[in-house]
Amino acid sequence: MKVALLGLSHPHSGILLDTLAGLPEITELCLWDADGAAVTRQLGSPQRKVIQVTSELDCVLSQTDIAFALVCVRHDQMLAVAGQVIASGHHLMIEKPAGLNAAEIVALQQRAKAADRVASVLYPRRLHPCMIAARQWVAGGGIGSLLTMEGRFLATQVRFRDPSSWLFRRSLAGGGILLWLGCHMLDLLHHVSGDEIVEVGARFAIRSGEQIEVEDCAALSLRFASGTVGTFHAGYTLAFSGSGYLNRTGYDSYLGFNGRAGRVVWPDLNPKLYVESAPATPGAPAGREESFPLPESSAYGGTFGETFFRQFIAATQGRGAPPTQLADALRTARVIEAAEESARSGRFVTVAS
């Protein structure tokens, strides 16, 4: 199949190009960026599947045999580019957060529905084997009714991430660390638990010492529809973990789901879970580590990223549901907007439904 990658200036463009090029289902790639120089910078040497490189978007979207387009552009450009994809009759995969704000995501969602196009947001961690297992533990009642949930996502400091980047300009990015990285974990808190965040209390801060316009630290107190309470902490805080946006050592994360009969913890981004539940045999330990070895892969997210794209491709062909929908991006955007309002007002804010 032929696929289009729209945007080569984004921090994730390179690894997404590698992902598409590595999937055997994809045989031809069309690349677009409004900045012709970005194409040269990103490609380096010719890629064997690339059949078109252009700075004219219509030259790509006018091709009726494109299976889908992957939009990977600056946040303030997402609505316009993704809207053109749908108007051209193509299915859409879009980088998170899928828009500058919730209103833009709603507009995109309405266009995709009217055109009967499959539209997914890139949340590949949903298909990480640890998250699949954690979701099964919670849904199956293995740890009982949830009492609390907790999350943490720390990344390298702003000084290692080019403080002059558009990602730190409010008008171009829409928000700070919550919108760029925290969105993954907020989505997983909902996805694993099956519970909705309905109220948020938040504190934001800019502590990097750099001239940026968006929060680089955030602490959230969460209330879920079930009555479960939770916390989430995000920050560009790590001083000794290297630099760059695709630095695997540059993150420290944690997700915990604490129930009346046990708990499930994902202590980092590695394929291991810590589980506490009633032992199958008397005297056996309640706590244990579960491992999920993952083969090496150059795809965004590794092998579970490949699975994410394959599930999306199947959905575009009428085989099953997509791995995510724009409703998932909208849910997270509304939580983040409630957090922003809370940080401004100093009060708890109800999440828009």
Domain ranges of the chain: 2-117, 125-304+331-350
Q: Give domain 2-117's CATH architecture.
A: 3-Layer(aba) Sandwich (3.40)
3-state secondary structure of 105: helix
Q: Which pLDDT band, with edges at 50, 70 and 90, does 66 fall under?
A: very high
Mean pLDDT of 44-70: 90
Q: What is the pLDDT of residue 45?
A: 55
Q: What is the pLDDT of residue 42?
A: 64
Number of Cβ atoms within 10 Å of the Cβ of 24:
5
Mean pLDDT of 302-330: 97
Between 75-79, 150-154, 250-254, 297-301, the lowest mean confidence (pLDDT) is in 297-301
Residues 6+ apart with CB under 8 A from 4: 29, 30, 31, 32, 60, 61, 63, 66, 68, 69, 70, 90
Whether cis (ω within 30° of 0) applies to the bond prior to 163 is: no
Q: What is the pLDDT of residue 247?
A: 85
Phi and psi for 210 in degrees, rounded to 5?
-95, 160
Residue 60 buriedness (CB in 10 A; 0-12 / 13-18 / 19+): buried
Q: Which pLDDT band, with edges at 50, 70 and 90, does 43 fall under?
A: low
Mean pLDDT of 233-252: 91
Q: What is the pLDDT of residue 148?
A: 98
Q: What is the pLDDT of residue 44?
A: 58
Between 9-18, 77-86, 107-116, the lowest mean confidence (pLDDT) is in 9-18
Q: What is the pLDDT of residue 37?
A: 76
- As given in the structure block, the two tokens for residue 352 are 């828009």
For the entire predicted model, the pTM comes to 0.95
3-state secondary structure of 337: helix
The DSSP 8-state label assigned to residue 227 in this structure reads: S
Q: What is the pLDDT of residue 48?
A: 76
d(CA 215, CA 312): 33
Q: What angle do CA 269, 270, 275 make, to 5 degrees?
A: 95
Q: What is the pLDDT of residue 285?
A: 87
Q: How many CA atoms lie within 13 A of 73 on its CB side?
A: 25
Q: Which CATH class is domain 125-304+331-350?
A: alpha beta
Phi and psi for 167 in degrees, rounded to 5?
-65, -15
Place of tokens 């989505």: 187
Mean pLDDT of 290-303: 90
Residues linked to residue 230 through DSSP beta bridges, in sequence order: 149, 222
**266 pLDDT more than 90:** yes
Mean pLDDT of 281-304: 89
Mean pLDDT of 6-27: 94
Q: Which pLDDT band, with edges at 50, 70 and 90, does 120 fall under?
A: very high
Residues 6+ apart with CB under 8 A from 73: 6, 7, 9, 10, 81, 95
